[in-house]
Amino acid sequence: MDAINELRNEHQAILMTLSILERMIHRIKEVPEGQVVEHLGRLVEFFKIFVDKCHHGKEEDLLFPALMKIGVSKHGGPIGVMLAEHDEGRGYIRELQAGLDQLKKGNPDSVGRIDQSAANYISLLRAHIEKEDTVLFPIAEANLSFDKQSQLYKAFQKLEIEKIGAGRHEELHGLLDQLKSIYL
């Protein structure tokens, strides 16, 4: 597998988690307690670890610098937009976590905060992934040599172990399989 296809495959997993999140939020609005609250906590952790540390880490630490070296602008170009959206997503996850923390403390009013944060995150990430898949990744494929993409792929594997730990990627995909069987 090459570096860009790995990122695309990760996008597919992320899109699935967004569908799971939609279903979870619907259930929380009906009955804001129990197993669904625990599952939401685990899904928020997935977003923090897999989406942000692992996936966005590969892009921010490796892909974007490689693209900037070949002349893709960080400012006013697709990389700048992607970085701004990564930061925006982090804000929504902080809000989602804060709402979840309040819900666990017995504050039913936090369901609205959870719902809004989740809706914002879902909307942002779906549009973000579409932009990367149709704009940024084709630029990378057209301009990064086969050797450079191979180097990136190897660097992605190293980054994954350093940022989230050996075996954690598979563990997180196991969580997705479990949540998919419950919510989708």
Confidence band, pLDDT 50/70/90 cuts, at residue 76 = confident
Q: Return the sign of the alpha-carbon dihedral for residues 49, 54, 59, 61.
A: positive
> Is residue 32 scored above 90 in pLDDT?
no
pLDDT of residue 41: 96
pLDDT digits (tens, 9 = 90+) for 42-55: 999 999 999 999 99
> Do 94 and 51 meet the contact criterion of CB atoms below 8 Å apart?
no
pLDDT digits (tens, 9 = 90+) for 139-159: 999 999 999 999 999 999 999
Q: List Cα–Cα distances, 78 to 13, 16, 32, 131, in angstroms.
A: 22, 24, 39, 8
pTM equals: 0.95
- Considering the domain delimited by 3-183, tell me its CATH architecture: Up-down Bundle (1.20)
